[in-house]
Structure 1
Amino acid sequence: MSLTGHLAASLHDRGLGGDQASAARALRAVHRAMAELRRGTPVLIRGGDHTLIIAAAETVSARGLSELGLAGIGPAVLLLAPVRAAAVLQRPVPQDAPGTEAGAVALRLPPALLDPAVLRSLADPTAERLLPAEPERVGAPALASAAIALAKLARLLPALVAAPAAEAASGRLDLLSVEAGHIAAYPDTAAGTLTRVAEARVPLEDAPEARLVAFRAADGGIEHLAILVGQPEQALAEGSVPLARIHSECFTGDLLGSLRCDCGPQLRGAIKRMAEDPSGGVLLYLAQEGRGIGLVNKLRAYALQDQGLDTLDANRALGYGADERNFWVAAEMLRAVGIGRVRLLTNNPDKLAGLAACGIGVEGREAHQFAANGVNDAYLQTKARRFGHLLT
Structure 2
Amino acid sequence: MRAVHRAVSDLRRGTPVLLDGNGECLVLAAAETVGARGLSDLSGIAVGPAVLLLSLPRAAALLARPVAATAASSVTAEDVPVALRLSPALLAPDSLRRLADPVAEQMLPESPQVVPSPGFAQALSPAAIALAKIGRLLPALVAAPASAAAAARLGLLSVSVADVLAYPLSAAASLTRVAEARVPLAEAPEARIVAFRAADGGIEHLAILVGKPEASGSVAPLCRIHSECFTGDLLGSLRCDCGPQLRGAIARMAAEPSGGVLLYLAQEGRGIGLVNKLRAYTLQDTGLDTLDANRAIGYGADERDFRVAATMLEALGFPRVRVLTNNPDKLAGLAACGIGVEGRVSHLFAANGVNDGYLATKKARFGHLMG
**TM-score, normalisation: structure 2:** 0.95
Distance, in Å, in 2 between the alignment partners of 1:356 and 1:146 is 27
- Counterpart of 1:232 (choices 187, 190, 213) is 213
What letter corresponds to residue 343 of structure 1 in structure 2?
Answer: R
Compared with structure 1, are the counterparts of its residues 328 and 260 closer, same or farther at alpha carbon in structure 2 (3 Å cutoff)?
same
- Counterpart of 2:74 (choices 78, 89, 97) is 97
> Superposition pairs for residues 216-255 of structure 1, below 5 Å?
216-235=197-216, 238-255=217-234
What letter corresponds to residue 272 of structure 2 in structure 1?
Answer: I
What letter corresponds to residue 262 of structure 1 in structure 2?
Answer: D
- Counterpart of 1:257 (choices 192, 213, 236) is 236
Distance, in Å, in 2 between the alignment partners of 1:324 and 1:294 is 10
Equivalent residue for 1:38?
12
- Counterpart of 1:273 (choices 245, 252, 258) is 252
Alignment of 1:162 onto 2:139:
no
Given that residues 101 and 145 in structure 1 are in contact (C-alpha distance below 8 angstroms), is that contact kept between their aligned partners in structure 2?
Answer: no
SS in 2 for 1:168: helix
**TM-score, normalisation: structure 1:** 0.90
Question: What is the CA-CA distance between 1:94 and the residue it aligns to?
Answer: 6.1
Alignment of 1:339 onto 2:318:
yes
Equivalent residue for 1:12?
none
Greater shift in the superposed pair: 123-132 or 164-173: 164-173
Deviation by residue 1:175-210 (Cα, 9 ceiling, x = unmatched): 000011110110110111111000011111111111
Deviation by residue 1:30-76 (Cα, 9 ceiling, x = unmatched): 00000000000000000123111000000001010001001111110
Deviation by residue 1:325-381 (Cα, 9 ceiling, x = unmatched): 101110000111111110000110100001100110000100101000000000000
Deviation by residue 1:140-181 (Cα, 9 ceiling, x = unmatched): 422111110000000000000000102312221100000111
- Counterpart of 2:83 (choices 106, 119, 138) is 106
Distance, in Å, in 1 between the alignment partners of 2:130 and 2:42 is 19
> Superposition pairs for residues 359-374 of structure 1, below 5 Å?
359-374=338-353
> Superposition pairs for residues 1-392 of structure 1, below 5 Å?
27-89=1-63, 90=65, 91-92=68-69, 97=74, 103-138=80-115, 139-140=117-118, 141-142=120-121, 143-235=124-216, 238-392=217-371
Aligned residues: 364
What letter corresponds to residue 33 of structure 1 in structure 2?
Answer: A
Deviation by residue 1:109-146 (Cα, 9 ceiling, x = unmatched): 01000110111111000011101254211234221111
SS in 2 for 1:130: coil
Question: What is the CA-CA distance between 1:103 and the residue it aligns to?
Answer: 2.2
Distance, in Å, in 2 between the alignment partners of 1:93 and 1:194 is 43
SS in 2 for 1:151: helix
Distance, in Å, in 1 between the alignment partners of 2:97 and 2:305 is 28
SS in 1 for 2:148: coil
What letter corresponds to residue 284 of structure 2 in structure 1?
Answer: Q
Distance, in Å, in 1 between the alignment partners of 2:274 and 2:287 is 20
What letter corresponds to residue 322 of structure 1 in structure 2?
Answer: A
Distance, in Å, in 2 between the alignment partners of 1:366 and 1:147 is 39
What letter corresponds to residue 76 of structure 1 in structure 2?
Answer: A
Given that residues 216 and 222 in structure 1 are in contact (C-alpha distance below 8 angstroms), is that contact kept between their aligned partners in structure 2?
Answer: yes
What letter corresponds to residue 163 of structure 1 in structure 2?
Answer: A
Question: What is the CA-CA distance between 1:240 and the residue it aligns to?
Answer: 1.3
Distance, in Å, in 1 between the alignment partners of 2:313 and 2:325 is 16
Moved beyond 3 Å, runs of 4+: 90-96, 98-102
Given that residues 71 and 114 in structure 2 are in contact (C-alpha distance below 8 angstroms), is that contact kept between their aligned partners in structure 1?
Answer: no
SS in 1 for 2:144: strand
Given that residues 18 and 25 in structure 2 are in contact (C-alpha distance below 8 angstroms), is that contact kept between their aligned partners in structure 1?
Answer: yes
Distance, in Å, in 1 between the alignment partners of 2:208 and 2:303 is 23
SS in 1 for 2:19: strand
Given that residues 226 and 246 in structure 2 are in contact (C-alpha distance below 8 angstroms), is that contact kept between their aligned partners in structure 1?
Answer: yes
Compared with structure 1, are the counterparts of its residues 145 and 93 closer, same or farther at alpha carbon in structure 2 (3 Å cutoff)?
farther
| Root mean square deviation, CA, Å | 1.5
Given that residues 250 and 262 in structure 2 are in contact (C-alpha distance below 8 angstroms), is that contact kept between their aligned partners in structure 1?
Answer: yes
Structure 1, unaligned runs of 5 or more: 1-26
Distance, in Å, in 1 between the alignment partners of 2:341 and 2:318 is 11
What letter corresponds to residue 184 of structure 1 in structure 2?
Answer: L
Compared with structure 1, are the counterparts of its residues 310 and 134 closer, same or farther at alpha carbon in structure 2 (3 Å cutoff)?
farther
Compared with structure 1, are the counterparts of its residues 93 and 146 closer, same or farther at alpha carbon in structure 2 (3 Å cutoff)?
farther
What letter corresponds to residue 62 of structure 2 in structure 1?
Answer: V
Distance, in Å, in 2 between the alignment partners of 1:53 and 1:100 is 24
